[in-house]
Structure 1
């Protein structure tokens, strides 16, 4: 009697399976891609056309002699196949009767650190491959450090190529001991070690008869049965609001994804940053209303009271709140090909919140090969550092190791819109921690009467370019009107401008303007009418790029701008638009 496949039942069962996200990491030629390819092949998760293509490619570009080169299932780029290495992150999806899997095959080279960070950002488990012939090497240490940095709690140390050391238990035990000694300070809570041969399939899907001394399970069996429930954060309810839904006058809901924790109908919730409280009236999904929601469900929450909540704000339980801070410290992975400019401001994307942020201090950078810390004033591509930040508005966060969803962020270049870096928040920064350490060299500089704060730092803090707008006219009332109209307009644009009234254009006045410019301010200086010679003298003191000559009710062909009494506003707008 044949059993017909019920598609609906199959899809329903598949949807209810747990999902395990894992990454593989290892040195060049340790066999990462081969291992995953063998896992897919032996678990019979390949279609016939994939098998045919694999056999053809193995003969044409394979590196396994007459055998099938399983790595070709993942090394998809032409450059990867030519070099026999992994460059980009390759994702593979497959499912067994017990669990669904998403595998990220990440490159092992140091220059592709950002690729590994990307691939591991959502992983629950990491498989770190070690060649049985070489044991724990520099790349093993680097990958383990990155895994700990990403907060991945489960690590499988896969000692590969056991066939090349005659399946020796002594070799395996030594590698395990060396690795656990090294990994102890990293704080990885769960390390499981498996000896295997990816090429021959030993201990990949089925237990190997070549290693009777190994009493553990095969790799697939371990992956199918590892418990992940304890990894999820069901304690800290965090609901970043993504969108306010108001289809009609009778419904107002807050759409978003539960980042962590659990929320139920009737729960008291607090909106951040306002601190206003209400109770959950309803929890809505596409299928209908539900009584409870948990991470990572996307829902719409309605409240009993009409409180003001907008995109970027957060709903939490009043007795369990995140940090609400502008100053915080994080481990930062620089991902842009352009080297960091610490004086530049960036956009920070944290949950649904978008804000501007500045870098206060780089405490140190980490050598990912040795884990040694060293001083740094900037970070380059693939470099990692401990950095303190100040955002323009408060962020609602938890430490990354406590809550990944609310403890991670990205930095965006406001000019190019490129993702510059990813960060894992350590915690808030206390007032004392924000203070930059003063060195003996700094003290010598200060004793000479010089500031430690660079001009670019001041401009970055004020978000403007310093300039002197020299408004000159013998009509004092018109000069004042133009100056204070310009001050008002610049203030409305978010600029910080200072009006400096003066009688005559003197070197002393010019030096005052220059001093204020050095502090990052825009100076609006008013004097009586000046000549071209006067303007050149002022420009020499202030700087040609900072000096703008504005004539009011004066016929002067050499002025940068000429304003008439009856048309001051349009003239002011033209000047303001240049700053």
Structure 2
């Protein structure tokens, strides 16, 4: 038997390394002391992937300290990890084969460090799950198997390690395979293969072992190269969480770039993109990348950006999709499978934050469907989830999010839960539940489809009034008299013969500040803004320039309005300073500006955006 790659194999690897462009993330998990780090150390050593002299250096250190050499020491760079003999953090190591470059994430097996394991596994495309042949299937063997399934990792290779401690017996290997395969079938997971190995002795790691002639399958290295790299699949549906929208002004550059990282699929110039949950759409005008040549297409894994033919207001957190492809789910009520890692129980007495992609939304536990003991697969019926437990639960969200069900896409179904500024849980969304948000969207869409213009069309009104209908929404810091500004603007435009109307929104719908501070203020405010937007849309259909003032408007308020009033028909005037960079501010007014100057600023904006037309030469 030859434990190491021969010289010819190594020379082939070295000659091809410069041509390797493919990368793959692999996580290695398993119960504590089942030999994960030893296996990785052996892979590094046997593929000649260690820095020159590193292996000899570690062996010499062990000799000086009268400590037996172990391949795990190649990974345990932190002194406290060596002292305790356990892996605490998810360390990343790199090696290459003839086919691709690998990043191996060594995730902790100790129960106290499961949070680190989840963090590491979330980045992986496949997993090696290690089971000690002598100890057999343990609690964390099952716990980690369940976690991998929840994180959507479908490519799982089970390594039955330390076969040297059971004299390489086929019967022991088959016992473990039968037991663990039965467990995996219970949770809907099918392993790619089961490989009997000895990490310390190097059996079946990079070359076949003559100690186990009864096994005719692949070695660990061969199996890794056979795994599918999901990042090669470019024909998936397009999904890109919006990281931000960046506007340029220097040198006459007026681009607004929608930026993010493509989770799946590809996008090209001319594609019609739809952003969810808002449902707004436009066509891709250009693909933009930092310090890169112009391109007409970009694909999965790229940090990219694109401009749109029609300037629409979208915000961080929206999910960019392509028209004609499968739509994502949009809901404020979701059913999930999660693993809880928080110090305190997950319960319905407190709020949490759910983060999926670039979306972050307040969430409250609505129902615990079932709590599952990952080691025994027994169900417990109670309305809280304890640390290290797996559960199926329903969350009610403060606002709608866009996502895919786990069965359709692992990338856009995974989420984490934040409790008191710490990541305290994570899982996958398995279903979208019927709720008021979906009903409202359907009602708005139906109204848009059924809406018929009167005998006089909007275009005819615009021609008669020499203006386009628009809402000028004045907001800003509290304490500044925005209503006074709004009525001054109305009087000025009316005096010039414009069809203008001041809509006193707060008196009509939005109530007083005291009312907004009530316990159910969030839901009340949303309903009030929906009513406000409905009436505003009627006034706009009549051809008006609509002037309104709203105290300290928020990004979510704008989103609510824009679901009914087209964003093209809304101009936001902000009085005073703001730290909210996601508000679509069209005109910024300083506190000390006179009403006359404010009026001229707003009028110029209306002329520049061709809302009102003035005779040439005046």
* 2:181/2:191 contact within 8 Å kept: no
Deviations along 1:267-290, one digit per CA (max 9) or x if unpaired, are 122222332332221112231222
Instruction: Verify the 8 A CA contact 1:328 1:388 in the aligned structure 2.
Output: yes
Question: Pick from 268, 277, 284: which aligns with 1:280?
Answer: 284
1:233/1:350 Cα in 2 relative to 1: closer, same or farther (>3 Å)?
Answer: farther
Preserved contact between residue 57 and residue 72 of structure 1 (Cα < 8 Å) = no
Q: Could you say which residue in structure 2 is the equivalent of 1:420? A: 424
Q: Which residue of 2 aligns with 1:48?
A: 52
Q: 1:31 aligns with which of 30, 35, 38?
A: 35
Q: In structure 2, what is the equivalent of residue 370 of structure 1?
A: 376
After superposition, the C-alpha distances for 1:25-80 in whole angstroms (9 at most, x for unaligned) are 222322111111111111111113532441134336686x3xx3111122344443
Once the two structures are TM-superposed, the CA of residue 204 in structure 1 deviates from its matched residue by 0.8
Deviations 1:79-137 (A, max 9, x none): 43233233332221222332111112222233332222222112122112222224334
Could you tell me which runs of 5 or more consecutive residues in structure 2 were left unpaired when the two chains were aligned: 1-14, 437-510, 522-618
Retained in 1: the 8 A contact 2:55–2:74? no
Residue aligning to 1:98: 99
- CA distance in 2 between counterparts of 1:10 and 1:177 reads 40
Tell me, yes or no, if the aligned pair for 2:26 and 2:126 is still in contact at 8 Å: yes
- Measured against aligned partners, the alpha-carbon deviations of 1:330-353 in whole angstroms (never above 9, x if no partner) come to 122223323335221222222112
Q: Classify the secondary structure of the residue corresponding to 2:307.
A: strand
In structure 2, the CA distance between the partners of 1:265 and 1:12, relative to structure 1 (3 Å rule), is farther
Distance 1:46 1:251 in 2: 47
Name the structure 2 match of 1:224: 225
Task: Name 1:340's counterpart in structure 2.
Answer: 346
Is the 8 Å Cα contact of residues 152 and 188 (structure 1) preserved in structure 2?
no
Structure 2 partner of 1:379: 385
Equivalent residue number for residue 258 of structure 2 = 254
Equivalent in 485, 504, 512 of residue 488 of structure 1:
512
Aligned residue for 1:114? Answer: 115
How many pairs does the alignment contain? 429
Q: Could you give the per-residue CA deviations for residues 203-227 of structure 1, whole angstroms, max 9, x where no partner exists?
A: 1112222223322222112212322
**1:291 matched residue in structure 2:** 296
Query: For residue 155 of structure 1, what is the aligned residue in structure 2?
Result: 156
Check conservation: 2:151, 2:414, Cα contact below 8 A.
no
| Structure 1 position 410 matched with structure 2 position 416 | yes
| Equivalent residue runs for 1:135-174 within 5 Å | 135-174=136-175
Q: How does 1:302-381 map to 2 (within 5 A)?
A: 302-319=307-324, 320-381=326-387
1:190 Cα deviation from its structure 2 partner: 4.2
CA distance in 1, matches of 2:323, 2:313: 16
TM-score (norm 2): 0.64
Kindly indicate whether the alpha-carbon contact (under 8 Å) linking 1:234 and 1:294 is maintained by their aligned counterparts in 2.
Answer: no
In the TM superposition, residue 258 of structure 1 has moved relative to its aligned partner by 1.2
> Do structure 1's residue 73 and structure 2's residue 74 form an aligned pair?
yes
- Whole-Å Cα distance in 2 between the matches of residues 328 and 37 of structure 1? 42
Distance in 2 (alpha carbons) for counterparts of 1:166 and 1:407: 44
Q: 1:494 to 1:13 in 2, by over 3 A?
A: farther
For residue 315 of structure 1, give the secondary structure of its aligned residue in structure 2: strand
Q: Is the 8 A contact 1:154 1:188 kept in 2?
A: no
Change (3 A) 1:152 1:496: closer
Whether 1:301 and 2:306 are equivalent positions in the alignment is: yes
Q: Which deviates the most, 90-99 or 324-333? A: 90-99
SS at 1:309 equivalent:
coil
8 Å Cα contact 1:54/1:70 also seen in 2: no
Quick one: distance in 1 between partners of 2:362 and 2:64?
52
CA contact (8 A) 1:34 1:69 kept: yes
Residues 10 and 214 of structure 1: CA distance in aligned 2, closer, same or farther (over 3 Å) = closer
CA gap 1:231/1:337 in 2 versus in 1, 3 angstroms: farther
Partner of 1:540: none
Give the alignment of 1:169-180 within 5 angstroms. Answer: 169-180=170-181
Describe the SS at the equivalent of 2:412. Answer: helix
Moved more, 487-496 or 113-122: 487-496
Distance 1:371 1:353 in 2: 32
In structure 2, the CA distance between the partners of 1:181 and 1:496, relative to structure 1 (3 Å rule), is closer
Residue 399 of structure 2 corresponds to: 393
The answer as to whether partners of 1:111 and 1:382 remain within 8 angstroms in 2 is: no
How far off is 1:326 after superposition?
0.6
Task: Give the CA deviation at 1:388.
Answer: 0.8
Change in 2 beyond 3 A, CA 1:338/1:274: closer
Stretches of structure 1 that go unaligned for 5 or more consecutive residues are: 1-8, 433-486, 498-579
Q: Partners of 1:230 and 1:310 in 2: how far apart?
A: 27
Q: Determine whether 1:265 maps to 2:289.
A: no
1:518 paired residue number: none
Q: How far apart, in 2, do the equivalents of 1:26 and 1:420 lie?
A: 21
Q: How many Å apart are 1:11 and its aligned residue?
A: 8.7
Give the aligned partner of residue 239 of structure 2: 238
Q: 1:10: Cα distance to partner?
A: 8.7
Deviation at 1:192, TM superposition (A): 0.9
Deviations 1:378-417 (A, max 9, x none): 233322222211111110000134222211222223xx42
Per-residue CA shift, 1:442-473, capped at 9, x if unaligned? xxxxxxxxxxxxxxxxxxxxxxxxxxxxxxxx
Q: For residues 552-576 of structure 1, give each alpha carbon's deviation from its aligned partner in whole angstroms, at most 9, with x where no partner exists.
A: xxxxxxxxxxxxxxxxxxxxxxxxx
CA gap 1:491/1:289 in 2 versus in 1, 3 angstroms: farther
Give the secondary structure class of the aligned counterpart of 1:404.
Answer: coil
Instruction: Note if contact 2:247-2:257 (Cα within 8 Å) is conserved in structure 1.
Output: yes
Is contact 1:62-1:72 (8 Å) kept? no
Query: Against the structure 1 CA distance between its residues 267 and 80, is the aligned structure 2 distance closer, same or farther, given a 3 Å change threshold?
Result: same
